[in-house]
Structures are given as C-alpha cells and as structure tokens.
Amino acid sequence: MDWNEELEPLIERLNAWYDAAIANLPNAAVAFLVVIVFGVASKFVARGAERGIGKVAHSSAITGLLTAIVRIAVVAVGAVLALSVLGLKEAIFSLLAGAGVVGLALGFAFQDLAANLIAGVYLGFRRPFVIGDLIETNDIFGIVRRIDLRNTVVETFTGHHVIIPNKEVFENPVENLTATDKRRLDVPVGVAYETDLEQAVEVAEKALRQIDGVRSEPAPQLVGTGFGASSIDFEARVWFDTESDTDYIALRTGVILALEHAFDEAAIEIPFPIRTLDLARAKDVLVDDWTEALGEQLTGRGSHVEDGRSSDAG
C-alpha cells in the first residue's frame, strides 16, 4: 500500500487551506483589529449610555439592563463587520436567521416575563410613582418599598409585603396619593334627626380645626350627604400635607375621636341604626287577621253541621 498516494489528496487540501490562510492573513488581521476596537469602544459607549440613561430612568436596575444591551449591540456590530471582512457573509446571514428564530421561540416561551420587563422599563422612565409613595392599585393600598424590573413591592398598613407584577401595574389604574403637596381625608358621620344641624356643623368644624396636622387652608368642612335610615348623614373633610410626617391612619383616628368628643360635649347624638314600628297599626292588622281566621273556622264548622243534619234526615 502506497501511503504517499493515499495522503496526497489530504496534503493538497491542507496546502490549499494554508495558501488561503496566508492570502487572508491581512483580512484576518483587520478583522481581529475590528473586534478589538469595537470591544474597547463598547466600554466607553456603555459608560456614556449609563450616564445618559441614569439621568432619565432613575433606576439602577433599568440603567444596568439598558447599558448591557448597548454594550452587547456594539460588540455584535463589530463581530458582523469582522465576519464581513473575512468574506463570511453566509455565516452572517445564518447567525442572524438563527438569532431571529431563537428570539421568537424565547418570546413565546417567556412572554409574561418579557411583558413584565418591558412594563418595568416603562415605569422606570415615566415614574408614575417612586419608592415611598402611597399608592392604590389592583385593590392593594400601601407604600411602595421596591421597584424591580419584574415586580413592584408594596407594603400594606397591615405590615404585609405584596409583590405585584409590573404588567399588572401597567395595565391597571394607579392612584398615587402622595403625588401632590396636599390631600383630603373624608370621614362619614351621622347625627339624629332631631339635632340642630347648624349647631352640629359649627361644633364639628371647630373640633376639626383643632386637630394636629390639619391644614387651615382649605378649611375643614362638615358637608351633608343625605338622609339615612336612622340619621342625617354628613362627611367630615380635612386637608393635610402629604410631605409632612402626618400619618394617614392616625389622622383618620384623630378625626373620629375629635368628632365624638365634640358631639358628646354638645349633647349631639350620633344614633345607632334604628327601625320604627307602628304598634297601633300592627294591632289593628292582627285583630283583623284573627277575626277573619275565626270567621273562616266558624263558617267551616257550620257547613259540617249542616251536612251532618242532612245525612241524618236521609
């Protein structure tokens, strides 16, 4: 067996590859230089992007994510240019097609995750609320403690931490109770029907003005809201500063205590739910019903007696 003849095709192919490598050596050097340049440039571009995004997003998580995306994009552009210099255009198209297919598959598989991430980025840029704000969304009322890319953490007044997906926050109304410099607190209260209403309003508004944390302007008010089943209904309205240390729950308790003490001193009754029964009319109705029932019974017995007599006569 002649090994020279067997190895000759392999040697020729290796020589061809060697010649091609030598011929493409300048292109390979240029491609390597392109990769190095874009790799170094990606660091500077990422730093600039981090500073610019940080001024708008105000979120370290969002800033880090977008900075990483910018850096990867710069490196990817350098890699595509390097492959183009080497004449590997078909490899570029193959990589792009493969990336598209993989991205589409991942998009379907992790669509909820992607939706939460996109919503998190939106919340980071638009900032409808910040950490420490008192908000109400998705029937959850509490203070914002953390805003991540995927979730928003709200601490309720019962001390529970509720994790809300950013997608739910994005798709539902959000009421930010600390977005303005002042806020109104409404507390319902009722007085008896025989109460002097003008006196009740004067007593209540005087008591409301003396509560710590209540603003003098707009002035506290006691506003009538309707006629209830057992009381004339009012609503105590007070304004307080959202940026102060005034606690919402404590202020609500203070309003209730102040109204109760003021009404008690002025002998103004806060009635219990009551129901009025007209006993005289009820007595007449009962007597009529008993009379009618007794008459029906007597009539029935009379008919039975007549039937008995008729049968005896026969």
What's the CA gap between 60 and 68, in Å, rounded? 12
Q: Is the pLDDT of residue 227 over 60?
A: yes
CATH number at residue 172: 2.30.30.60
Residue 119 inside a domain? The answer is: no
Residue position matching structure tokens 């410099």: 181
CATH number at residue 31: 1.10.287
Cβ–Cβ under 8 Å, residues 70 and 49: yes
CATH number at residue 219: 3.30.70.100
Which residues, in sequence order, are CB contacts of 177 under 8 Å at separation 6+?
Answer: 133, 134, 135, 136, 183, 242, 248
Q: Is the pLDDT of residue 171 over 60?
A: yes
Residue position matching structure tokens 């009820």: 282
Higher per-residue pLDDT: 270 or 313: 270
Residue 115 inside a domain? The answer is: no
Using the 3D structure, point to which of 109, 138, 157 is the last residue of a domain.
109
Q: Are residues 189 and 260 in the same domain?
A: yes
Q: Are residues 143 and 241 in the same domain?
A: no
Q: Is the pLDDT of residue 195 over 60?
A: yes
Q: Are residues 192 and 167 in the same domain?
A: no
- pLDDT band of residue 208 (cuts 50, 70, 90) is very high
Q: Are residues 224 and 271 in the same domain?
A: yes
pLDDT average, residue stretch 228-234: 90
What pLDDT, on a 0 to 100 scale, did the predictor assign at position 311? 47
Q: Are residues 236 and 289 in the same domain?
A: yes
Q: Are residues 97 and 153 in the same domain?
A: no
Q: Are residues 18 and 103 in the same domain?
A: yes
How many Cα atoms within 13 Å fall on the side-chain side of residue 246?
Answer: 24
Residue 174 main-chain phi, psi, to 5 deg? -125, 125
Cβ–Cβ under 8 Å, residues 79 and 99: no
Cβ–Cβ under 8 Å, residues 78 and 24: no
Residue 114 inside a domain? The answer is: no
The domain total for the chain is: 3
Count each helix (H run) and each strand (E run) in the chain, helices first: 9, 8
Q: List, as one string, the DSSP characters of 209-239.
A: HTSTT--SSSPPEEEEEEE-SSSEEEEEEEE
What pLDDT, on a 0 to 100 scale, did the predictor assign at position 3? 58
Q: List, as one string, the DSSP characters of 101-163.
A: HHHHHHHHHTHHHHHHHHHHHHHHHH-SS-TT-EEEETTEEEEEEEE-SSEEEEEETTS-EEE
Q: Are residues 185 and 265 in the same domain?
A: yes
Residue 293 inside a domain? The answer is: yes
C-alpha distances in Å from residue 135, one per residue of 59, 182, 216, 290: 19, 15, 25, 62
Q: Is the pLDDT of residue 165 over 70?
A: yes
Q: At what angle do helices 25-57 and 60-85 cross, to 10 degrees?
A: 160
Helix (H, G, I), strand (E, B) or coil at 60: helix
What's the CA gap between 238 and 144, in Å, rounded? 24
Residue 151 main-chain phi, psi, to 5 deg? -135, 160
C-alpha distances in Å from residue 86, one per residue of 27, 90, 242, 292: 6, 11, 64, 111
Q: Are residues 170 and 186 in the same domain?
A: no
What's the CA gap between 287 and 296, in Å, rounded? 14
Please report, rounded to a whole number, the percentage of residues in the chain having pLDDT higher than 90.
22
Residue 314 inside a domain? The answer is: no
- Range scoring the smallest mean pLDDT among 9-13, 31-35, 160-164: 9-13
Whether residue 218 has a cis bond before it, omega within 30° of 0 = yes
Sheet containing 182-191, strands listed edge to edge, beginning at the edge strand earlier in sequence: 182-191, 232-241, 221-227
Q: Are residues 166 and 186 in the same domain?
A: no
Q: Are residues 97 and 37 in the same domain?
A: yes
Residue 244 inside a domain? The answer is: yes
Residue 25 inside a domain? The answer is: yes
- Range scoring the smallest mean pLDDT among 70-79, 85-94, 223-232, 249-258: 85-94
Q: Are residues 53 and 143 in the same domain?
A: no
Range of the domain at 83: 9-109
- Across 35-39, 151-155, 275-279, the highest mean pLDDT is recorded for 151-155
Give the other-Cβ count within 10 Å of 291's Cβ. 10
What pLDDT, on a 0 to 100 scale, did the predictor assign at position 256? 94
Residue 71 inside a domain? The answer is: yes
Q: At what angle do helices 89-109 and 60-85 cross, to 10 degrees?
A: 150
- Range scoring the smallest mean pLDDT among 193-202, 257-266, 276-285: 276-285
pTM of the model: 0.56
* pLDDT tens profile 72-104: 888 888 887 877 777 766 666 677 677 777 777
Using the 3D structure, point to which of 176, 192, 213 is the last residue of a domain.
176
What pLDDT, on a 0 to 100 scale, did the predictor assign at position 23? 61
What pLDDT, on a 0 to 100 scale, did the predictor assign at position 313? 47
Mean pLDDT of the chain: 78
Higher per-residue pLDDT: 127 or 227: 227
